[in-house]
Amino acid sequence: MILEPTKALEAAKVLADAVPFLGGNTSEEAYRDALAMVDYLIEHDDESPLIDFLALKIAEYEDNNERFKAFNQAVTDMPTGVAALRVLIEQHQLSYSDLASEIGSKSLVSMILSGKRSLTIEHIKALSKRFNVRPDLFF
């Protein structure tokens, strides 16, 4: 197979015109359009290589954009155990009161998730058992 650089360049230009975010347009509108395009592709063509290109560009944008700086820092600063608990709560569609037997009151769960209190060994044992995960996930 002989590569045809002119065809590749033309295809890249057409793609950048169709999806300006891939062509270097980092406006808020281009960013939101790129997010919408990923959602659409996942629903309609989840094998499309365009998903990977967009995901990389979106991640780069979010990692380097000043608007996401506080959020990215909060994620970095969040203890791993709290982050894991947040994911489990979301995945299992739980409310804070659903964790009463493992942690205690809704207010205690809230304090743990906000970083005001820490998970105890007993909490970790109970959460590990409930979600069938290794305790070290919460450390």
Task: Give the tens place of pLDDT for each residue, 83-117.
Answer: 999 999 999 999 999 999 999 999 999 999 988 89
CA dist., res. 26 & res. 22, Å (int): 9
CA dist., res. 13 & res. 81, Å (int): 45
Tokens of 61: 């944008």
pLDDT digits (tens, 9 = 90+) for 31-57: 999 999 999 999 999 899 999 999 999
CATH fold, domain 78-138, is 434 Repressor (Amino-terminal Domain) (1.10.260)
CA angle 72, 75, 79 (to 5 degrees): 155
CA angle 121, 123, 125 (to 5 degrees): 70
Domain extents in the chain: 5-73, 78-138
Judge contact between 20 and 61, C-beta under 8 A: no
pLDDT at 1 over 80: no
- The string of DSSP codes covering 61-80 is HHHH-GGGHHHHHHHHHS-H
Q: Return the pLDDT at 69.
A: 87
